[in-house]
Structure 1
């Protein structure tokens, strides 16, 4: 039966993603486009059902029903998300910027029984000790893959039964394992159930009044929670279509938006800044976009984007864990993130006592006057939707400080520093522990330190974040050189290039050489002192200059960081209204 072409399904009350996928059956409108490929909603449902049936055939008895997906944004990605939903399985998004043993670790840690990839990513897997045998590595652009799927083509989604030994999907069924980085140095896989994903999609579909003729442009990587939770899920809940871009391209953004009729997009990190760096044109407002939703655009770039493209960006705060969320409302003042999402009881508290801290006092220019008493850790004292980490009870307990007695037990502790103004709006003030966020990727300093510790001239290494002038952080490393050693930039570049597990976001933007690393009274590295000094320090500093083009890696070349470089860089911070971050 044909489905109405304008009515939204956002209010249908679907409790599982599987129900939303099943609702696509019989809907012959275009549901997904990528380049010259177009699939109807009906074909998406049928394709998901075929892959769910294949999964049931290939899944070893007793194995966890986890599918690792190592793909760019291609139609196979949403097809496998739908397949997992129908089968009651879970997708582990595998990050293609990871390398070597760390990539193998991600696949093994999430107990992937099946790995779905494409030819372009096969070199990443070459020589790795994978836990998935070759017969269960599916290459979607290989003819053998089509042969495996052929017997199941045309399978209706209602005809898909639960996996052997499993029950039909419920709201509590695992749907996603989203990698995020924490202070331990090893990425953690946050759990997301079908119920949480369906609810998040429906909530955003209502918030943005998603229509069935809308098109959500997915240009952020789908291994990242942003694209799935904030892009794919609300499109599925609202009955809208999606348009896929393999990888983000600033120059292709507007042509894609016009080509696909995109009305909504999501972003993270510096994506908005890259879009603004493209040459302005008289037809910049000639497009169908209505909404942009994401994080870290910054107030300056958000205002510039609205002025140039005529699209208001809605900033939010949240994580793949789902433990806390903030939304920007029309009355949110400049510099603030927003107010809590419905159902969250957020507070800024002392990380030791759990006591709520005083509200911030701001001067007429918006500068914080009482940071010492107002800045604390953001917690959610309400029920939240944190579902834990896969096979990591210690990290799960740390997020909630256990369930026993003690300050803040049972709350969700974000690990992020905030302050709250008199109007109740929350402002981001930094991150606790040793986490960094580079180009929307969460990294752990300890992991990078373990790699840089192999550098022979270094007797000691400390890695820490310095604020990026536009969004997120940049990596800075302090190297304590061995006696008689000197920093050779060419040698350091060669060293970085030879490290198989150095991800594309991990190379330091700044390198500081010191006689010895500063330590606290307990002989721990004094990271606070290093972060406060940043690149404005007396010791020699080398750097990879910031580049305007996305994807240009740090670590390609290092040169001395001069006084002229510092002055020009500080001007960029002031231009983006982020100079205050250097003082915290």
Structure 2
């Protein structure tokens, strides 16, 4: 393909597929060509235009609604979801992805705050929305699993593709941040940005119409659209869409459909690796697994077992922060960033000095080397948050983009994640970031997930609490855990947890990010939960007993 253009819109990429007879979508047991997909998308676009017009109507009666054409999609992954997403895009409306895990006032806030004028729901969200107060009139709430909707769809003719190009600056979608440390913000993504993302993905990964994209991440999340669906639209490749992820079905699907590209967030690699290994696992067509936040041990093992390249990158929903692994990336590092992305002390506005390590890999200057990841040259890439000037101002300061992520960077320019800006502990007068401790603890074979949080010290500062999930079938044995810590040459002198608490499951977003603000920090044992306590300054642990 040609050079990436800043004026390519996602709507134009969709329109370019209008006469394409190549297979576009497999969902369950049915296949659609690209021509059929664009036709169905245009049929949904006609419904949007009938309800919302051009956004300039008076909003009275059954006429077009007043205000921005924001369409809330409360749908599970399905062909219907894809048709509505592309339909909104092709007519210049904006998609608001409704998170099905939100409830009550939070869900109402998501719908009202983002200015939804129309809601499209399936059975998975209809009951959840019952009783939730929002501003969308009843006749603009469509339930796709009803006969009334099927009848309306049957009598709706597809809207013609727009004669005039969609404005590249038009809002295409509002993407909620994960909300792991605060209330989710709605990130603006324009037609221009999605078009650029699609073309860049194709160029960087060498993707073509011969590629088949396996999409199982929830479509209200940016990964499913940006990493999987957008490059498929750009190339005219084939999308294999699943309603939900199944580790046991993954390899049979890859083989059956000739999947060459798989996108993920978080733990899917780990779940797939937990299935029984077979000698012929590498006998499959997969070329690339692309995503973020996989455990380092899973990245290497997945590549070995399935004979593919795993590209695990670090980036922001806002699009201005990007750190990529390279073949020479050291263990524990995120990789290198393009020029202009640095680690800055937010108080002095100076770049932090490089991280220094001893012969065992122990970080020697954590406090001075740790700062916030900042892109000094990426302000133009930030398209803003919907109706949130305070968040905009916090993101753009001094003409730079401030990520909200902590890191340190070594002398060769490799970045190491250190947590969110609130993920600091103050132990014995020393500031400590939580992410390096979490990375070290995840080496313990019994741990499936770790969240390190602060518990106030009785005298001053904090103590380290590790809240952990266990691998199925494993127990937390105090002696083996203490021995494990003692064998880690890079264990920081303040890193050993004062307490280790086992929970059934850590609170997570639908994309498997741990929600730190929802982690239970109580350290007293209850309801049979294991809590280990460290004895003095040693690395010996013993079960914490309930008070008599």
TM-score calculated relative to the size of structure 1: 0.73
SS in 2 for 1:64: coil
Q: How do 1:50-61 and structure 2 match up within 5 A?
A: 50-59=43-52, 60-61=64-65
Q: CA deviation at 1:235?
A: 1.4
Match for residue 29 of structure 2? 36
Q: CA deviation at 1:147?
A: 2.2
The count of aligned residue pairs is 469
Q: Is there any run of 5+ residues in structure 1 with no aligned partner, and where?
A: 1-7, 163-167, 402-408, 436-463, 479-511, 571-584
Check if 1:135 corresponds to 2:128. no
- How far does the alpha carbon of each residue in 1:490-527 deviate from its partner, in whole angstroms, 9 at most, with x for none? xxxxxxxxxxxxxxxxxxxxxx8xxxx66999xxxx6x
Q: CA RMSD in A?
A: 3.3
- 8 A contact 1:544–1:558 mirrored in 2: no
Q: CA deviation at 1:242?
A: 0.8
Structure 1's 329 and 374: CA in aligned 2 closer, same or farther, altered over 3 A? same
Check if 1:376 corresponds to 2:371. yes
- 8 A contact 2:406–2:421 mirrored in 1: yes
Of the three residues 408, 417, 420, the one matched with 1:428 is 417
- 8 A contact 1:327–1:337 mirrored in 2: yes
- How far does the alpha carbon of each residue in 1:18-66 deviate from its partner, in whole angstroms, 9 at most, with x for none? 1001001111111011111211111111111111111011113322211
Of the three residues 168, 172, 186, the one matched with 2:169 is 172
SS in 1 for 2:231: helix
Q: CA deviation at 1:187?
A: 1.4
- How far does the alpha carbon of each residue in 1:350-380 deviate from its partner, in whole angstroms, 9 at most, with x for none? 0112100111123444432221221111000
Q: CA deviation at 1:68?
A: 0.8
- How far does the alpha carbon of each residue in 1:58-108 deviate from its partner, in whole angstroms, 9 at most, with x for none? 113322211111112111222222112221111111111112221121111
Q: CA deviation at 1:143?
A: 2.2
Partners of 1:205 and 1:373 in 2: CA distance: 39
Match for residue 325 of structure 2? 328
- 8 A contact 2:44–2:158 mirrored in 1: no
Structure 1's 326 and 368: CA in aligned 2 closer, same or farther, altered over 3 A? same
Q: How do 1:57-206 and structure 2 match up within 5 A?
A: 57-59=50-52, 60-156=64-160, 158=161, 160=162, 168-181=165-178, 185-206=182-203
Of the three residues 267, 272, 275, the one matched with 2:269 is 272
Q: How do 1:251-400 and structure 2 match up within 5 A?
A: 251-341=248-338, 345-384=340-379, 385-400=381-396
SS in 1 for 2:313: strand
Match for residue 229 of structure 2? 232
- How far does the alpha carbon of each residue in 1:447-467 deviate from its partner, in whole angstroms, 9 at most, with x for none? xxxxxxxxxxxxxxxxx9994
Structure 1's 467 and 143: CA in aligned 2 closer, same or farther, altered over 3 A? farther
Match for residue 207 of structure 2? 210
SS in 2 for 1:329: coil
Partners of 2:233 and 2:27 in 1: CA distance: 17
SS in 2 for 1:314: strand
TM-score calculated relative to the size of structure 2: 0.78
Partners of 1:307 and 1:564 in 2: CA distance: 38
Which stretch shifts more, 466-475 or 168-177? 466-475
Match for residue 410 of structure 1? 399
Q: CA deviation at 1:182?
A: 5.1
Structure 1's 558 and 217: CA in aligned 2 closer, same or farther, altered over 3 A? farther
- 8 A contact 1:337–1:427 mirrored in 2: yes
Partners of 1:257 and 1:182 in 2: CA distance: 32
